[in-house]
Amino acid sequence: MLRMQAVTSLLIKSLIIFFLVLSQSPAIAKEGMWIPATLKDHEKEMKSMGLQIPIDQLYNASGTGLNNAIVLFGRGCTGEIISASGLILTNHHCGYGSAQGLSTAENDYFANGFWAPNMQGELPCKGLTVTFIRRMENVSQQILEGLKDTMRDSFRDTVISLRIAALEKEFRTKTGMDASIKPYFDGNQYWVAITETYRDIRLVGFPPNGIGAFGGDVENWIWPRHTGDFSIFRVYAGGDNRPADYAGSNKPYKAEEFFKINTSGYKEGDFTMVYGFPGTTREYISSYELSQVYNVTDPISIEARNRRLDIWTKHMGWTRSNFLKYTSKRAGVANGWKKWQGELLGLKANDVVGKKQAYERTFQQWADTCKAVPYAKDILPQMRTAAEIATPILTQEQYIKEGVLGIEIVQQGAAFDNVMACFRLGLSQDALRDTLTKLVTGMEGFYKNYDPKTDQDVFISLMVLYFNKCTSWIPDEFKDQYRAHDQDVNVWAADVFKRSMLTSMAPLKEFATNAKPGDSTKLQADPAWRLYNAIATIRKQKITPVLKDYISRMRYLDRLYTNAQMQEYKNKTFYPDANLTLRLTYGQVKGLDPEGPAPYSFQTNLKEVVALDDTASDIFRVPKKLKELYAAKDYGRWGVNGTMPVAFVASNHTSGGNSGSPVLNAKGELIGTNFDRAYEGTMSDYYFDPTRCRNISVDIRYTLFIIDKFGGAGWLIDEMNIVKGKKTVAAKAKK
C-alpha cells in the first residue's frame, strides 16, 4: 500500500554517490525557504524558471505585496486571503480543532460538514487568531553590534534580549502595529516582522471527513493522495478594519491584497511557488545531533505512539462520542508518528548521517588551516563530546515524554500542582473554594475530550513499555505501586482509575466545592498525581539539568558552526532554517518516482477517489452526494475534459507550518493549497533530496467544485476573482 519496496543496492549506491557530490555543491536544486525581503537576490533564477511577475508583487515594504494576503493561521498553519471580504482558505486539518470545538452530537461537522448559508451564519471560533506580516527588516546590526562570535551565550543572550525588547518597542511605537524580532541562521542574524493579529475568526466552510480527511492515516504523507484537505474561514475586524475582539458588530476584514484564483490548470514542469510559515528545519546541524534524531527520538516516538494510536483507534470505533473526543487528538499524534517513519526511511536511503560525516571531514580539514576563523577547528570535537554525554539521558527523556506522559491521566497530574499551590497561600475557606472552583472549571476543555476507559488501556500498554525500556530510571513510586498490585499492570491500572479524582470533572468539582484548608493531603494521596509527581521529580533532578546544559551548549556550538560554514562557502547562497516565520519557496510541478522506472502521475482525480470507496471504512467512505456528482459527471465549470482533478505534487521545499499555504503559478495566482509532503521525502527537514522531496496540494478546481456543487455554497464563489486563461471573472459586490 505504501509503495515502499526496497530499492536495489545499485540504485542506493548511485544515489549516495550522487547526493554526496551534490551536498558539496554551493547550492542544491530547488532547495531553500527564502525570506521574502531577500527575493530580489533570486529574481534571475526565478525568472529563468518561469516567473512572470515582478518580485515586488510578491513582497514589498509599501504594503502592496502578496505577503499581505498570507496569514499565520492559529498557532502553526498558513492561510491565504481569497476575497476582498477577508475569506481565508486553509487546510481541513488546520481547521480541525475549531470544528471540533463547534461540533456536538446534533451538529457533527466531521460527519456532515458545515457550509454557512450566508455571512450571518458563519460561526465564531473562540481563541482562533490569524496574523498578517506587513513588513520584514534585517536588524542584525542593531542587535549584534559589538558582540563577538565566541562570546558565551549567557551574557550574549542577556544583551540581545534587552536590545530586542527596546527595538520591538520602538517599532511598535513607529508603526502602531505589533513587532517581533527572531533569530535566523542559529542566531547569526536577526529580523523583525511587523505584524497584525486578528482575533475574530469565523468558520465558513468545512467539508465532511469523507472529503477533507479522506484516506486518513493510510494515505497521510503518501503520494498519490486523494484528499480534499481544505476549510474556509473569514477574518472579521473592528470599525477601522483593525484587529478587535469578537463582537456582533464587527465587519468582514477589507482586504486590499488577496489572491486571484486560476482554474486553467498546470502541466508537469510548470513554475510554482509556495508562500507561508514553515515550522522547523535543521539543515545545518552536525552528524552528532542528526544521529540522535535517527537513533533515539524518532524510533522511540514511533514505538510509543504505535501503542497509543492502536488503542485510541479501537476505542474511537466503539461510540460516536469517543470518536468526537479523540478524532482531533488522534490526528495530531498520528501526523508526527507517520512523518517520522518516512523521515527515517529517507535518512536511511540517502545515508544522510554518512554524508554529514563526510562533509564534516572536509570541514575539519578547512578549519584546521583557517586562520580567519580560529575557533572553527574545535567546534566538531566539542559537539561530539557533548552529544556522547547527553544521548543516554535523552533516551530516558524520550521514553518519559512519549511513554509515561502519553498517559493522559498522568499528564493531567500537572493540573494538581496548581491546585496544591492554593493550599500554600493561606487563603480563607471561602476564598480557597472560590479559587479552586475557577481552576477546576478551567479543566473542562480537557475532560470534554477525555475517556477514562480509553486512557486506562493506554496506561497498561505504555507502562509496560516504560518498565521494559527504562529499568534503571524508574522512580520508587512507580515500583511501589506496581508491587502493591502484585506486579499486575492490569490490576494496577484498574485501581488508579478507580481511586483518582483526575478521571472526570465530577470528583474535582465536589472537592473544590467542599475543600478545607487542610485537604491538600487528599490530593497528595491521589495515585495518578503521585505518579506524575514522581516522574516530574526524576526529570527535575536527573534529566532536565543535563539536557538543559546540553541544549545550551549545542546552541552555542550550532551558532558557531553555522557561522563557520558560511565563512567557508562564501559563494553559496544560504537560507535560514525554518522558524515559523514568513518564507517563499519555488520549484516546479513534478511527479514522483522514488522506486521505479515509471514516474507516478503528478496529479490525481475524482475517478481514483471513487474507486477507493469503502462503505465499511471510516477513512475511505466517499460521501453519497459526491458519488452522485461523479456518476453524473456534474462538475460544473470546474471539470477538465470529463475529469475532476483532485491533488498534485511539485518540488517546492516545504515543512510543517506550510499546511494551508497557497501554491501559486508564475503569475502569482492561486492554483492549489499545500497540505502535505511525500512520505519518501519527509527527511527534508534535515536534508533535501530533489528526487524524493515533493509537496502535495489540493487542486483549487477541486476545492471550488466541493464548495459549489457539493456544499451548495456558490455564494462564496461569487466573492472570489477567478481567472481562466486570460479571462477574469470578477467578484460580485457584497452588500
The answer to whether position 154 is within a domain reads yes
At 232, the amino acid letter reads I
pLDDT tens digits for range 288-314: 999 999 999 999 999 999 999 999 999
Q: Are strands 77-81 and 87-90 parallel, antiparallel or unpaired?
A: antiparallel
Measured distance CA(520)–CA(685) in Å, rounded: 47
- Single out the residue in 145, 174, 197 at which a domain terminates: 197
Same domain, 484 and 516: yes
The answer to whether position 519 is within a domain reads yes
The answer to whether position 560 is within a domain reads no
The answer to whether position 25 is within a domain reads no
Q: Please pick, among 85, 92, 226, 229, the residue that the annotation labels catalytic.
A: 229
Q: Judge whether residue 20 has pLDDT over 70.
A: no
Measured distance CA(135)–CA(241) in Å, rounded: 18
pLDDT attached to residue 355: 97
pLDDT attached to residue 727: 59
Same domain, 383 and 258: no
State which residues form the domain around 59. Answer: 32-129+199-279+582-729
Measured distance CA(687)–CA(348) in Å, rounded: 11
pLDDT tens digits for range 224-258: 999 999 999 999 999 999 999 999 999 999 999 99
Give me the mean pLDDT over the 64-89 stretch: 97
Q: Please pick, among 42, 92, 93, 653, the residue that the annotation labels catalytic.
A: 93
Same domain, 629 and 527: no
Measured distance CA(161)–CA(165) in Å, rounded: 6
- φ and ψ at residue 220, rounded to 5 degrees: -60, 135
Q: Please pick, among 98, 231, 287, 659, the residue that the annotation labels catalytic.
A: 659
Q: Judge whether residue 51 has pLDDT over 60.
A: yes
pLDDT attached to residue 417: 86
Same domain, 383 and 364: yes
Residue linked to cell 475511505: 620
The answer to whether position 559 is within a domain reads no
pLDDT tens digits for range 446-455: 999 999 999 9
Any catalytic annotation for residue 93?
yes
Q: Judge whether residue 581 has pLDDT over 80.
A: yes
CATH number at 247 reads: 2.40.10.120
- Sign of the C-alpha dihedral computed for residues 480, 481, 482 and 486 taken in this order: positive
Residue linked to cell 496506561: 459
Same domain, 590 and 685: yes
Any catalytic annotation for residue 417?
no
pLDDT bin (cut points 50, 70, 90) of residue 728 is: low
The answer to whether position 701 is within a domain reads yes
Q: Determine contact, residues 43/586, Cβ cutoff 8 Å.
A: no
Percent of the chain with pLDDT over 70: 94
Same domain, 372 and 257: no
pLDDT attached to residue 518: 87
Same domain, 362 and 487: yes
Of 278, 277, 246, give the one whose Cα is nearest residue 132.
277
pLDDT attached to residue 313: 93
Q: Determine contact, residues 658/664, Cβ cutoff 8 Å.
A: no
Measured distance CA(136)–CA(195) in Å, rounded: 9
The answer to whether position 699 is within a domain reads yes
* Residue 676 Cα distances to 55, 341, 537, 697, 728, angstroms: 26, 15, 39, 7, 30
- Single out the residue in 141, 170, 197 at which a domain terminates: 197
Same domain, 587 and 702: yes
Same domain, 203 and 191: no
- Answer with the residue of higher pLDDT: 597 or 331: 331
Any catalytic annotation for residue 659?
yes
pLDDT attached to residue 729: 55
pLDDT attached to residue 14: 32
- Answer with the residue of higher pLDDT: 12 or 464: 464
pLDDT bin (cut points 50, 70, 90) of residue 598 is: low
pLDDT tens digits for range 94-135: 999 999 899 988 999 999 999 999 999 999 999 999 999 999
Same domain, 193 and 327: no
- Stated as kind and residue range, the H or E segment containing 107 is none
Q: Judge whether residue 10 has pLDDT over 70.
A: no
The answer to whether position 5 is within a domain reads no
Same domain, 97 and 139: no
Measured distance CA(546)–CA(394) in Å, rounded: 9
Count how many domains the chain has.
3
Q: Judge whether residue 8 has pLDDT over 70.
A: no
Q: Determine contact, residues 503/409, Cβ cutoff 8 Å.
A: yes
Instruction: Note every long-range contact of 527-530, with CB atoms under 8 Å and residues 24 or more positions apart, other chains counting.
Output: 527/481, 527/495, 527/496, 527/499, 527/500, 528/409, 528/410, 528/412, 528/413, 528/496, 528/500, 528/502, 529/413, 529/416, 529/500, 529/502, 530/477, 530/481
Same domain, 423 and 487: yes
DSSP string, 23-51: HTSS--TT---B-GGGGGGGHHHHHHHT-
